[in-house]
Amino acid sequence: MNKNYQVYFGFIFFSLYAQKALAAGDKSDSSGGLPQLDISTWPTQLFWLLITFSIGYIIISTLVVPSISTVLENRSDKISSDVQKAKNAQENAKKAFSSYEASLTEARTQAANTIANAVNEAKSDTVKREAALDKKLATNAKKAEESLAEVRRETLSSLEELATEISQKIISDLTPVKVTKSVVKKHVSLHAKLQN
């Protein structure tokens, strides 16, 4: 059995013996007052107070204080160890965050360069396509204008012919004057030139 427990149990048995002795003394004293207020019992009370206090002091100093100081030392060591671990973890986290920031900045730079290159390529490709499209449209527009001019000439020519025939018919139907086709055609052509 541990020495500290032996002292503790000894104190308990001694306290029980002292309590029995005091109880036997109380039976013989039948004064009827409180023994704490009887001055004749003060020296014995002081004696037992000193003994009880001494035994309590010894028990506390041998059992309680060392275990409390051990717990406090262990707790202090644990706290110091945890604080050091936390500092190390914080430093590692800072290093990891710095590395992450650097890689993120590098990735952003690469992405910006890739986007800029793609935009430049798209612009140059668009310029080339627009130039080719403009050239093709200009050629098509020129051909369309030529076709339209030809159609217009043909249409005007056929309109003049039609107008000449209709005018000659109207003049011959409405008036007794006989007009030749060449005269009517001359007047229709003159009128068409004035309209243009």
Q: Give the domain range for residue 153.
A: 149-195
> What is the pLDDT at residue 7?
65
Q: What's the total number of domains in the chain?
A: 1
> What is the pLDDT at residue 19?
66
97 within a domain of the structure (yes/no): no
Give counts: helices (H), strands (E), the chain.
4, 0
177 within a domain of the structure (yes/no): yes
pLDDT over threshold 60, residue 27: no
Summarised one tens digit per residue, pLDDT across range 116-168 is 999 999 899 888 888 888 888 888 888 888 888 888 778 777 777 777 777 77
Burial 78-92 (b: 16+ CB within 10 A, else e): eeeeeeeeeeeeeee
**The two three-digit tokens of residue 162, written as one number:** 């039609």
pLDDT over threshold 70, residue 6: no
pLDDT bucket at 174, cuts 50 / 70 / 90:
confident
112 within a domain of the structure (yes/no): no
170 within a domain of the structure (yes/no): yes
Nearest CA-CA partner of 160 in 135, 191, 137? 191
159 within a domain of the structure (yes/no): yes
27 within a domain of the structure (yes/no): no
186 within a domain of the structure (yes/no): yes
- 3-class DSSP assignment, residue 6: helix
pTM: 0.37
Rounded CA gap, 150 and 152, in Å?
Answer: 5
176 within a domain of the structure (yes/no): yes
